[in-house]
Structure 1
């Protein structure tokens, strides 16, 4: 026992003597030039160790240095790539004797990293590394045989066990990462107040804390990360458990507001399989600002996320996204390569989007009277020209970089006053073409079906679409969508068209197609045609005009038509409306660009000869009907005066013929009874009478 104690004392004494001799005779500064030369050789950058490298004794033996600078190549606006004010690293001596590496705390103070890109796109990280691809291995090593390499590997087996490496901790304070891109005109600055890693050892959880301040243009962010780091001995698995990231963002884009978010998850990195998994991923965000709806938006995301590094494949399962009252759930995968591949199957609740739509200020009410007068006096072509000049054809070249196949189901959507029921959509994008293979939407007690295609044709965007409406109540749709109260009825609609150009003006001018429509059991608002017919009959019969009906509408049993579209004009070649009391037919034009109507129709009253109706004796009468004006304020007029004149003229012609025929018959009777001379007198008198009758008719 005494021998063991003496032996231990001797070893400690020898160790102390070794350390003392090391401190006395070894000066780390003697190796500064060699270190700088090695950096120059391996990184192609100049390293300057400005301060002295010295020994540290407390709290443990180690090294410390003053200012360290790693320079940029000439030609950049900032001189340094990396700059460190102070650095220190401790080493525990006793574990070294057992083949274990026990490093003390690594401390960096005033760490600055500057990443620059000049106007030509050259980065200060370019051309780093050795100038020559040739290694500095001796020829003997290069020409070594496999047997010699095996012997060498056995001899070179490390004394120190890497898996037993320990680190007392890392403290990085006052770090700044600055990113400046002169070509893109961007500048970001990240200030890291603290990076703190607790005592580290393999297979042992270690506390990790990072406090960061981030400045990107006009945005400022404070980020705090807390987690438990666990690395297994063979470095095959790295975990960040109980990871929580708290973020606070402020800036001009959030006037009088902020963004606060809390992210919680467990991160598992399987090194060998190159797979990162974020389990129980949960992030809650609250955004407040004066320019937001109700000055506040809240979001929540829950999911299980995995990312396969070698395949560049991200998979999101059990996704639950909530933005205020909007919800979206399902699965999603994104694979990035030369072509981004996206697959999804998502289901949403009913979305009321009015909460997020900016309400345009009523400029006409707020503008001065003279400003309004000037505005209204300007030609309409000026405003349309400005709008057309502001339109930009979308660049669909990005479609060539996408491969998307997904299904989306939304319980309903409300936009402005428009209410849409359940929506089902299957979207496919491939080889520069986007296909809505089938979109169905419940719409005002009916169903909308759409198949559409949009493609990029070397910058000349093309589209084609086939759509149908079945059983849609047209009146509430027109009122909610365009505030037009013109017509009602159960609507069926078919259309097939195509065109080139995707700006609003190009679509209006360039769409070409054909379609048909039918409305059943409906009404036309703004005119009471039966009332007009009753008033017309009163004029014809000389009776008192009926009491005016305040209800300005006309019922019909069916309204059908065919139309074509070309060069901004809808040509309604066939327009037919039937009701029990009349027939209305004709044709008309709809100017899509000017948003005007021009219809010329004819009304024919119908009555049964076996019954006494208000429209008896009007058979054969045709009443002209005109529909003209804007979409929002169409004017409907009946030309009853012209119809009355035509009816009177027709009756007078009949009466004239009747009287003429009667006169001829009477003259014939007298001719048989009187002599020749008397017949001549009678013919002369008859001629005179006929001339007088002509004056009346």
Structure 2
């Protein structure tokens, strides 16, 4: 036993003597010039070690180095690319004999990295690798060294972490401490700058298969934006070094910029392992211009074992919003569903998605495939969408109307050569940037106060073309169907629209949409139009096509045509119509017209209104730009029965009265064209006199012929007595009795 103690004491004595000799005879600072020379050869830059290099022997062997600077070439704003005040690392010697690599605490204090790209494009990172040939040769030699098997022998470590004899190595790290580090990155060409003013990181004792604690904090600035972040987690590296796990992870980020403040974004992860579900909670609070938000959410996260898929399950995110940027002063928005991202296919899928904004809710599935032209597919549905609740409805429309005079004034005062707002084409470049195909169904839909049910919509966007493949809905006891196409590939967008409205009750529709009940009845409308250009002026000028209307069993409110006819008749006679207090409407059994759209006008020559009482035929046009009316219609009473309101119209039956409709869409004017009426009445009187004279002349001719024939008959009957005076007198009396 004593011999063993003597041997151990001898070994300790040898080690102590060896360390003493090493410290006495070998000064590590004498290697400074050699180290600087090798760095100069490898990088072309100066390495200046101002502090001392010192040995460290307890509790492990290592070294500590003082202030060190790795210099920039001349012409940069800071002298050093990298600098630090203190660094140190140590390795335990005895465990090496047992294939254990135990690294002590690694420290780096007051480190600073400065990266700059000048306006001429030169960066202080350029040329760090020295001459290309040297770098290429070194890389080649490195690859050859890695490719060659290590020589057999005890204790040699290969890349796989085993000795040449197959013995495994165990690696451990006492910890890492990065204190008060800073990074500055400037790009003078782009005019950008990012700086990390303070970066601290601490990793506790670390070894494969064991949990280690990691925490960090940083603060910095990017342009006018200030940001900070803090985080902590427990980390475990697999013993095979091919996997890692986390638990108790927390990350918090804050940011401030002009008009924007992110008080915090916090993410918490209870645990993370490949192929296993993890519980995630998150929250965010802050504000951007005209919008403040406070959001909370939770979900389950899983990354597949092969690291090709990221899945979210039971996502539940809610946010309270407030600000002028919203259609309402405050809103509550919620998103829920499942999501998956396939890294190989670059495909994100959302299934069972529900998006809520107050009372509005959308449900369905959405997918997004990342590509040069991203591919988006969706199928969404909603119980009710009320657009007016979000756009302000009539209030917005009124504000728009009030703004028109000022807009006109601004256009009039625009400098010569500038494009007015009415001639500015919308930017449709987005139609070339996406491939979209999807459907939307809505049970109840309200827009511009029009109420639709069972809306079924199918749209597609591809290669700069927008297609409305289907639009079908029920409205006001009728149906509407439509298709459309918009091609944005030319100098001006080209569009086509087909629409059919069948069996719609026109009056409640007009009351809801335009607050106007001018027309009532069951309406059918067929629209086939096309055009080029979507600017306001071109939209009206370049619109071509037809609009065919066919209304049945209705009335035109605001005008009583029979009354106007009676008044016209009375005026021609110098009298006045004695019927008072009649309703201002004209009933009809059919109202049809076909409008031709061209050159900014809608014109018709076959307007026809029919009822048991009236016949109305007309022609004319409306200017789509000025919204003016110019129609001429002929109205006539064709019945001899009781008219509207139970009043007799016999006295005006078969009279045709010309009526002019002028004014604007908002305020139409109706007036009898008395000049045309008098002209027509004069022509009728002249024609009547001509017919009367002709009839009289014809009657005289027939009477004369009849007298001759009767006389011839009497002469033949009486023979010689026909010349007797008494007989002639009797004959004349007989003839007068026959023809008078």
The TM-score normalised by the length of structure 1 is 0.75
Deviation at 1:595, TM superposition (A): 1.7
**2:630–2:662: 8 Å Cα contact kept in structure 1?**
yes
Whole-Å Cα distance in 2 between the matches of residues 417 and 654 of structure 1? 56
Instruction: Give the secondary-structure state (helix, strand or coil) at the position aligned to 1:337.
Output: coil
Number of aligned positions between the proteins: 658
Deviation at 1:653, TM superposition (A): 5.4
**1:639 aligned to which of 670, 673, 676:** 673
Whole-Å Cα distance in 2 between the matches of residues 632 and 597 of structure 1? 10
Whole-Å Cα distance in 2 between the matches of residues 128 and 420 of structure 1? 69
| Partner residue, 1:497 | 529
1:413-432 alignment, distance < 5 Å? 413-432=445-464
> In the superposition, relative to structure 1, how do residues 325 and 167 fare at CA in structure 2: closer, same or farther (>3 Å)?
farther
**2:431–2:464: 8 Å Cα contact kept in structure 1?**
yes
**1:483–1:632: 8 Å Cα contact kept in structure 2?**
no
> In the superposition, relative to structure 1, how do residues 666 and 273 fare at CA in structure 2: closer, same or farther (>3 Å)?
closer
**2:286 aligned to which of 249, 265, 285:** 249
**1:602 aligned to which of 634, 637, 647:** 634
**2:269–2:281: 8 Å Cα contact kept in structure 1?**
no
**1:195–1:211: 8 Å Cα contact kept in structure 2?**
yes
The root-mean-square deviation of aligned C-alpha atoms, in Å, is 5.4
1:89-238 alignment, distance < 5 Å? 132=132, 134-137=135-138, 148=149, 155-159=158-162, 183=190, 187=223, 189-198=225-234, 200-202=236-238, 205-216=246-257, 218-228=259-269, 237=274
Whole-Å Cα distance in 2 between the matches of residues 551 and 110 of structure 1? 93
| Partner residue, 1:686 | none
**2:117–2:124: 8 Å Cα contact kept in structure 1?**
yes
Deviation string for 1:208-234 (max 9, x for gaps)? 3333222455322233434347566xx
Deviation at 1:464, TM superposition (A): 1.7
1:370-381 alignment, distance < 5 Å? none
> In the superposition, relative to structure 1, how do residues 259 and 642 fare at CA in structure 2: closer, same or farther (>3 Å)?
same
| Partner residue, 1:551 | 583
> In the superposition, relative to structure 1, how do residues 19 and 479 fare at CA in structure 2: closer, same or farther (>3 Å)?
farther
Instruction: Give the secondary-structure state (helix, strand or coil) at the position aligned to 1:356.
Output: helix
| Partner residue, 1:624 | 658
> In the superposition, relative to structure 1, how do residues 314 and 380 fare at CA in structure 2: closer, same or farther (>3 Å)?
closer
Which structure 2 residue ranges, 5 or more long, are not aligned? Answer: 193-221, 239-243, 708-740
Whole-Å Cα distance in 2 between the matches of residues 11 and 206 of structure 1? 45
Structure 1 residue 591 corresponds to structure 2 residue 632: no
> In the superposition, relative to structure 1, how do residues 210 and 333 fare at CA in structure 2: closer, same or farther (>3 Å)?
same
| Partner residue, 2:375 | 341
Whole-Å Cα distance in 2 between the matches of residues 175 and 344 of structure 1? 46
**1:119–1:182: 8 Å Cα contact kept in structure 2?**
yes
Deviation at 1:602, TM superposition (A): 0.9
Whole-Å Cα distance in 1 between the matches of residues 31 and 502 of structure 2? 90
**2:343 aligned to which of 277, 292, 309:** 309
> In the superposition, relative to structure 1, how do residues 320 and 39 fare at CA in structure 2: closer, same or farther (>3 Å)?
farther
> In the superposition, relative to structure 1, how do residues 228 and 543 fare at CA in structure 2: closer, same or farther (>3 Å)?
closer
| Partner residue, 1:689 | none
**1:301–1:319: 8 Å Cα contact kept in structure 2?**
yes
Which deviates the most, 67-76 or 419-428? 67-76
Whole-Å Cα distance in 1 between the matches of residues 628 and 306 of structure 2? 68
> In the superposition, relative to structure 1, how do residues 195 and 138 fare at CA in structure 2: closer, same or farther (>3 Å)?
closer
**1:289 aligned to which of 319, 323, 327:** 323
Deviation string for 1:264-309 (max 9, x for gaps)? 2333333634222223323222222245344222211112222222
Report the structure number with the largest CA radius of gyration: 2
> In the superposition, relative to structure 1, how do residues 523 and 211 fare at CA in structure 2: closer, same or farther (>3 Å)?
same
**2:642–2:649: 8 Å Cα contact kept in structure 1?**
no
Whole-Å Cα distance in 1 between the matches of residues 118 and 370 of structure 2? 28
> In the superposition, relative to structure 1, how do residues 14 and 511 fare at CA in structure 2: closer, same or farther (>3 Å)?
farther
Which deviates the most, 520-529 or 116-125? 116-125
The TM-score normalised by the length of structure 2 is 0.71
**1:512–1:564: 8 Å Cα contact kept in structure 2?**
yes
**1:606–1:615: 8 Å Cα contact kept in structure 2?**
no
Deviation at 1:527, TM superposition (A): 1.0
**1:328 aligned to which of 349, 362, 372:** 362
Structure 1 residue 261 corresponds to structure 2 residue 298: no
Whole-Å Cα distance in 1 between the matches of residues 409 and 319 of structure 2? 48
Which deviates the most, 149-158 or 439-448? 149-158
**2:560 aligned to which of 528, 536, 550:** 528
> In the superposition, relative to structure 1, how do residues 433 and 226 fare at CA in structure 2: closer, same or farther (>3 Å)?
closer
Deviation at 1:106, TM superposition (A): 7.4
Structure 1 residue 510 corresponds to structure 2 residue 547: no
Whole-Å Cα distance in 2 between the matches of residues 71 and 36 of structure 1? 13
> In the superposition, relative to structure 1, how do residues 47 and 442 fare at CA in structure 2: closer, same or farther (>3 Å)?
farther
**2:271–2:279: 8 Å Cα contact kept in structure 1?**
no
Whole-Å Cα distance in 1 between the matches of residues 555 and 271 of structure 2? 74
> In the superposition, relative to structure 1, how do residues 8 and 157 fare at CA in structure 2: closer, same or farther (>3 Å)?
farther
Deviation string for 1:525-552 (max 9, x for gaps)? 2211122234345557787623333532
> In the superposition, relative to structure 1, how do residues 33 and 238 fare at CA in structure 2: closer, same or farther (>3 Å)?
farther
Deviation at 1:395, TM superposition (A): 3.9
**1:558–1:578: 8 Å Cα contact kept in structure 2?**
yes
Deviation at 1:603, TM superposition (A): 0.7
> In the superposition, relative to structure 1, how do residues 577 and 272 fare at CA in structure 2: closer, same or farther (>3 Å)?
same
Instruction: Give the secondary-structure state (helix, strand or coil) at the position aligned to 1:206.
Output: strand
Deviation at 1:560, TM superposition (A): 1.0
Deviation string for 1:393-423 (max 9, x for gaps)? 2343443442222112233333343333332
